[in-house]
Amino acid sequence: MGTTSYKCPSCGAGIHFKPELKKFKCDYCLSEYSEEEIANLYKDDEKSEDTHSTQEEVLHKHDVDEAHLQSYTCNSCGAQVVTDDTTTATFCYYCHNPVILSGRLEGEFKPKKMIPFAIDKEKAKSSFLKWAGNKKFVPKDFTSSSQLEKITGVYLPYWWVDTKAQVDYLGEGKNIRVWRTGDMEYTETKKYEIVRQGELDLNNVGEVAFTKIDKSLLNGILPYRESETVDFSMPYLSGFFAEQYDITKEEAEPMIEGQINRYYTYMINDLVSGYDKVDVIRDGIEIKDKEWNYTLLPAWILTYKYQGKTYVFAVNGQTGKSYGELPLSNKRLGSAFGIIFAATFLLLLLGGILIW
Amino acid sequence: MVIKNIYRRFIVITLFIVLFLFNSIVVGAFKELVFDEAGLFSSEERVSLETEANDLSEAYNMDIVITTTNDTGGKSSMEYADDYFDYNGFGQGPDYDGILFLIDMDNREAFISTSGLGIRYLTDQRIEGVLDEVFDSGLGDGDYYGASQGFLRKTRQYLEAGIPSNQYSADEKEPNRITIFDMLIGLVGGTATGGIFYGSTKSSYKLRNPGNPFSYRNNSIVNVVPGEDRLIDSIVTHRIIPRPPKGGGSSGGGRSTTHRSSSGRTHGGGGRKF
């Protein structure tokens, strides 16, 4: 398995994807390149590197297998890159150059689609602060900047499914009208036959394909703007972390299936409108086609340790939406409780004197 | 001689007894009801008021008292009037029926205190009516006799009119002091509101599964032939609307506000400064 590091074509330093520019920029010589330029440049190199690293793999892999870690070699400085078993993009510990474990992005692990990062670290920090700033009872140092420096950008794996369905729907709609004339009340019931036939496409129905971060946390930063999805391109990973899926297609299928069925029901309901009451005689949804897309989505992840508990937060790497369980300062909340208690107590005493 | 002496004594004693009885009958029939401690009435005026008050008292079996004072001893007009009524033994029957009219020169206030049946006859509204008459009869101008006459005149009118059909008594709220019970309510209420705030804040900081906010509308293509829905059936039914029975009524104007005097008895009443 190989590693890839994208380097500046001008000066040879490690190059990062900059979300705010939507381009690659060298920190040293300030050259800018588009994703296309970089990808084309490395197209030819990929093959030779692959063979080169296959040898490396033979050399390095066996001695770390027991530790369940795999080692790769940084192609900038030659140091070993030690990673978790699902990591696909990281940084070299020694030279801090971005390292992409391209060997882990092949075959069944080759992502099909992705949404590149659209907000950078600074913006992620500010949207996180904006969200957390509404909460008054977090510990004092929680929103400090040294704390926020630890925020990291990660591409997380998702399963996305595109489906097509044939619809042959039959229903009975009822409209009820009531009016009065003098002492008489009239009720008119009109029944309609509703027929809907055609095709419904439903795309990008997703499930998280990663167990190491709490699913409800990641659901909290949804939705992404699916329209900005691009085909997977490895250079986008340069400068970020990336993870491989550890929930297989088969494991995710029942959940995806449930979602698909639900959304098709909603879509049919949208098609039938203008009735007081609808009885479904036959919903006739036949799902014909399912296409699975292994998709990488961007998120900024922050962890914070408070009173022995680790809190994890996520910021949507595209929209900036933040989510997570906030630590609660018992001191701050306790004093608020005290104030409210005292105020109510005094108010009730005052009521005792003046009213009852 | 001795016998004659005894006879004379007997006559004297009998005479005394008869006189005493007669006297008590007179007193019973003609009770003193006007007490002009402030000296506002001439003796003729006093007699005239006394006669009229007695007449009214007898007709309705309640004590109609008129009193004036220069010094209430620090009491409010209400306290003075109530106490004057209670501690001088006024009020007829078990409920101490009666009405007292006080001209309080100390507080410069005319006050009417009612008790027993008097409370029921003179509702809050009627007391205002009587006070209107009292002031119209010249209380402000120093015509205290006229004012007292006004009181008697208007009171008679109301007594003749009877107890209003919608009369009810309502206890005036007493000013309160902090009790242990109030403290307890405060503690419980404070803990409750504080606790609710604490709990809700704590739970709002927790991670909740937000579900999967997927927008299927943005991620779908609908290709369905829009068809005209066919009307297959139409039914009209009818029913007669039942009329709701008319009801309800109005209230108001019949309230008699009462309070407790220092003797523990219940009084109604009202006053007005002049």
pLDDT at B173: 58
CA distances for A38 relative to A24, B50, B269, angstroms: 8, 120, 99
Of the given ranges (A25-34, A332-341, B1-10, B233-242), which has the lowest mean pLDDT?
A: B1-10
Q: Do B238 and A188 touch (CB under 8 A)?
A: no
Answer yes or no: is B227 within a domain: no
**Minimum-distance CB partner of B197 among A172, A223, A337:** A337
User: B171 to chain A nearest CA, in Å?
Assistant: 14
Q: Are residues B73 and B163 in the same domain?
A: yes
User: B234 to chain A nearest CA, in Å?
Assistant: 4
CB A234 within 8 A of CB A100: yes
Which chain A residues have a beta carbon less than 8 Å from that of B228?
none
Over residues B99-103, mean pLDDT: 91
Answer yes or no: is B160 within a domain: yes
Other beta carbons less than 10 A from residue B166's beta carbon: 13
Which chain A residues have a beta carbon less than 8 Å from that of B218?
226-227
Identity of residue A121:
K
pLDDT at A63: 43
Over residues A126-145, mean pLDDT: 80
Q: Are residues B168 and B137 in the same domain?
A: yes
Task: Mutation target for B interface from A164, A322, A348, A353: give the one with most B CBs within 10 A.
Answer: A348
Q: Are residues B26 and B131 in the same domain?
A: no
Q: Are residues B149 and B16 in the same domain?
A: no
Torsion sign over Cα A151, A153, A155, A158: positive
Identity of residue A354:
L
Q: Are residues B98 and B21 in the same domain?
A: no
Answer yes or no: is B77 within a domain: yes
User: B209 to chain A nearest CA, in Å?
Assistant: 5
Q: Do B207 and A167 touch (CB under 8 A)?
A: no
Q: What is the 3-state secondary structure (H, E, C) of chain A?
A: CCCECCECCCCCCEEEEECCCCEEEECCCCCEECHHHHHHHHHHHHHHHHHHHHHHHHHHHHHHHHHCCEEEECCCCCCEEEECCCEEEEECCCCCCEEECHHHHCHHHCCCEECCCCCCHHHHHHHHHHHHHCCCCCCHHHHCHHHHCCCEEEEEEEEEEEEEEEEEEEEEEEEEEEEEECCEEEEEEEEEEEEEEEEEEEEEEEEECCCCCCHHHHHHCCCCCHHHCEECCHHHHCCCEEECCCCCHHHHHHHHHHHHHHHHHHHHHHHCCCCCEEEEEECCEEEEEEEEEEEEEEEEEEEEEECCEEEEEEEECCCCCEEECCCCCHHHHHHHHHHHHHHHHHHHHHHHHHCC
CB B130 within 8 A of CB B122: yes
| Pairing, β A152-181 against β A241-243 | parallel
CB A170 within 8 A of CB A194: yes
pLDDT at A248: 92
> Any idea where the domains of chain A sit in the sequence?
15-110, 121-325, 331-356
Q: Are residues B14 and B127 in the same domain?
A: no
**Minimum-distance CB partner of B186 among A200, A324, A352:** A352
**Minimum-distance CB partner of B216 among A188, A191, A267:** A267
pLDDT at B2: 55
Answer yes or no: is B220 within a domain: no
Q: What angle do CA B255, B256, B261 make, to 5 degrees?
A: 155
Of the given ranges (A56-65, A137-146, A244-253), which has the lowest mean pLDDT?
A: A56-65
Q: Are residues B133 and B86 in the same domain?
A: yes
pLDDT at B174: 58
Closest residue in B to A169 (Cα) is: B224
Which chain A residues have a beta carbon less than 8 Å from that of B199?
none
**Minimum-distance CB partner of A137 among B194, B201, B230:** B201
Answer yes or no: is B139 within a domain: yes
Of the given ranges (A100-109, A136-145, A194-203, B7-16), which has the lowest mean pLDDT?
A: B7-16
pLDDT at A49: 46
Quickly tell me which residue has 């002009």 as its tokens.
B36
Q: Do A263 and B214 touch (CB under 8 A)?
A: yes
Band (A62; pLDDT cuts 50, 70, 90): very low
Q: DSSP labels for B59-97?
A: HHTSEEEEEEES--TT--HHHHHHHHHHHTT--BTTTTB
Of these ranges, A245-259, A272-286, B8-22, the one predicted with the greatest mean pLDDT is A245-259
**Minimum-distance CB partner of A353 among B176, B210, B216:** B176
Q: Do B209 and A219 touch (CB under 8 A)?
A: yes
| pLDDT beyond 90 at B46 | no
Which chain A residues have a beta carbon less than 8 Å from that of B211?
219
What's the number of CA atoms in the CB half-sphere (13 Å) around residue B215?
9
pLDDT single digits (tens) B179-213: 777 788 888 988 998 899 888 888 888 877 777 77
Band (A53; pLDDT cuts 50, 70, 90): very low
**Any idea of the CA torsion for A302, A307, A309, A310, to the nearest 10 degrees?**
10
pLDDT at B3: 59
Closest residue in A to B209 (Cα) is: A216
Q: Are residues B13 and B49 in the same domain?
A: no
Burial class (CB in 10 A: 0-12, 13-18, 19+), B213: exposed
Of the given ranges (A57-61, A301-305, B13-17), which has the lowest mean pLDDT?
A: A57-61
More confident residue, A160 or A37: A160
Q: Do B216 and A263 touch (CB under 8 A)?
A: yes
Burial class (CB in 10 A: 0-12, 13-18, 19+), A316: buried
pLDDT at B18: 60
Residue B95 backbone dihedrals phi, psi, to 5 degrees: -100, 5
Task: Report the CATH number that the domain containing residue B138 is assigned in CATH.
Answer: 3.10.310.50
Q: Do A216 and B210 touch (CB under 8 A)?
A: yes
Nearest to B53 by CA among B5, B4, B101: B101
Q: Are residues B139 and B153 in the same domain?
A: yes
A7 token code pair: 């380097």
pLDDT at B15: 61
Q: Do B238 and A270 touch (CB under 8 A)?
A: no
Q: Are residues B83 and B168 in the same domain?
A: yes
Over residues B3-18, mean pLDDT: 67
Q: How far apart are CA B77 and CA B104, in angstroms?
A: 6
Per the structure, the complete domain to which residue B127 belongs is given by: 32-173+255-273
Of the given ranges (A15-24, B164-173, B188-197, B249-258), which has the lowest mean pLDDT?
A: B249-258
Q: Are residues B74 and B126 in the same domain?
A: yes
Q: How far apart are CA A257 and CA B136, in angstroms?
A: 91
Closest residue in B to A225 (Cα) is: B218
A102 token code pair: 């391209």
DSSP state at residue B101 = E
Nearest to B33 by CA among B59, B69, B78, B63: B63
Quickly tell me which residue has 């296309």 as its tokens.
A36
More confident residue, A51 or B90: B90
Which chain B residues have a beta carbon less than 8 Å from that of A324?
207
| pLDDT beyond 90 at B167 | no
| pLDDT beyond 80 at B40 | yes
B137 token code pair: 């009869």
**Minimum-distance CB partner of B182 among A219, A328, A349:** A349
CB A289 within 8 A of CB B168: no
Q: Do B214 and A206 touch (CB under 8 A)?
A: yes
**Minimum-distance CB partner of A219 among B210, B217, B239:** B210
A316: left (phi over 0), alpha (psi -120 to 50) or beta: beta
Over residues B163-176, mean pLDDT: 72
Q: Do A198 and B222 touch (CB under 8 A)?
A: yes
Q: Are residues B38 and B26 in the same domain?
A: no
| Pairing, β B98-104 against β B109-115 | antiparallel
Which chain A residues have a beta carbon less than 8 Å from that of B200?
none
Considering chain B, what is the average pLDDT of its residues? 81
Q: How far apart are CA A177 and CA A189, in angstroms?
A: 7
Band (B246; pLDDT cuts 50, 70, 90): low
User: B172 to chain A nearest CA, in Å?
Assistant: 12
Answer yes or no: is B22 within a domain: yes
Q: What angle do CA A70, A73, A74 make, to 5 degrees?
A: 130
pLDDT single digits (tens) A206-226: 999 999 888 888 888 989 999
| pLDDT beyond 70 at B120 | yes
Largest Cα span, chain B: 146
Which chain B residues have a beta carbon less than 8 Å from that of A227?
218
Q: Do B183 and A187 touch (CB under 8 A)?
A: no
CB pairs under 8 A between A and B: 190
- Provide Rg for chain A, Cα atoms: 28
pLDDT at A108: 87
CA distances for B51 relative to A215, B24, B54, B57, angstroms: 98, 18, 5, 10
User: A122 to chain B nearest CA, in Å?
Assistant: 24
Closest residue in A to B229 (Cα) is: A194
Considering chain A, what is the average pLDDT of its residues? 84
| pLDDT beyond 80 at A125 | yes
Total domains present in chain B: 2
